Amino acid sequence: MNFKKISVCIILIGFISCGKNPFSPDTRFMLDTPVFESIPFDETSVLWISPFGEIPEPGGVTRYHNGIDIGTTNLGSFFSCADGIVTQVDLDTGDGLPGTNYRIMIKVSSKVQLEYGFEIGGEISEDERRNNILVSKGDRVKSGQHIANLIALDENIAHVHFSVSEGNNKDICPVDFFSAAAARKFEEIYDRCARIYDHSLHPDLCR
């Protein structure tokens, strides 16, 4: 009898533990490599995009870029491109000048994490940054959910550095995770808004 009671308790504990696991209620969280169906920004506010990979610069040199930069008009909207859990929100990343940059990270599967790094091109108050971050650590977000705005003080500089990591690998082009339709949309916007020295040397978002 005691053995049966112990067994029942163990099973109940297992169910309770699974209920607290943020990835267990939705099978999409269990995918090691999810497919993103929506792009991470409002395309109507995009001013320029800098691609992933080796980017050609004046003088025949290149620089390596491990994400995609999206420059927008002031208060350009950014969205989660998959269902997930917000794992990190930083009001000041420590990059650049103090009081300039903020960041959101979202875990979208057991291995894959999104990172949105907001560089605003100037200094603003903590309250202004806080007011334009629309999620908190631990929040569940849905694909297409509005998570933050880019405060673009200098539209030539201000941008969101969008990157995707899988496990310890951070050198992955984000577009590789998008569905064919969403990737095609991303590429079409890039074709209109590419910011690189010679587009003919880097015609695609990924290299």
- Output the six-digit token pair for 154: 């200098």
Q: Do 54 and 126 share a domain, yes or no?
A: yes
Q: Do 3 and 43 share a domain, yes or no?
A: no
Q: What is the pLDDT of residue 24?
A: 47
Q: Do 56 and 108 share a domain, yes or no?
A: yes
For the ranges 14-28, 123-137, 185-199, the lowest mean pLDDT is seen at 14-28
Q: Find the CATH number of the domain harbouring 168.
A: 2.70.70.10
Q: What is the pLDDT of residue 13?
A: 46
Q: Which domain holds residue 107?
A: 31-201
77 within domain boundaries: yes
Decide: residue 206, CB within 10 A, 0-12 exposed, 13-18 middle, 19+ buried: middle
Q: What is the pLDDT of residue 19?
A: 44
Average pLDDT, stretch 95-118?
88
Tokens 């590789």 belong to which residue?
176
Q: Do 56 and 20 share a domain, yes or no?
A: no
Helix or strand holding residue 13 (H, E): helix 2-20
206 within domain boundaries: no
Helix or strand holding residue 9 (H, E): helix 2-20
Assign 177 a pLDDT band (cuts: 50, 70, 90). very high
If one compares 43 and 17, the residue with the highest pLDDT of the two is 43
- Residue 101 CB partners (closer than 8 Å, separation 6+): 92, 93, 94, 95, 117, 118, 119, 120
Q: Nearest Cα to 70, choosing from 174, 158, 177?
A: 158
Q: Do 181 and 147 share a domain, yes or no?
A: yes
If one compares 13 and 93, the residue with the highest pLDDT of the two is 93
CB atoms closer than 10 angstroms to residue 29: 20
Q: Do 15 and 41 share a domain, yes or no?
A: no
The total number of structural domains in the chain stands at 2
Q: What is the pTM of this model?
A: 0.84
**Percentage of the chain exceeding pLDDT 90:** 68
CA torsion through residues 207, 76, 147, 144, sign: negative
Average pLDDT, stretch 166-194?
95
Please give the Cα distance from 123 to 102 (Å, whole number).
11
Tell me: pLDDT of 17 over 50. Answer: no
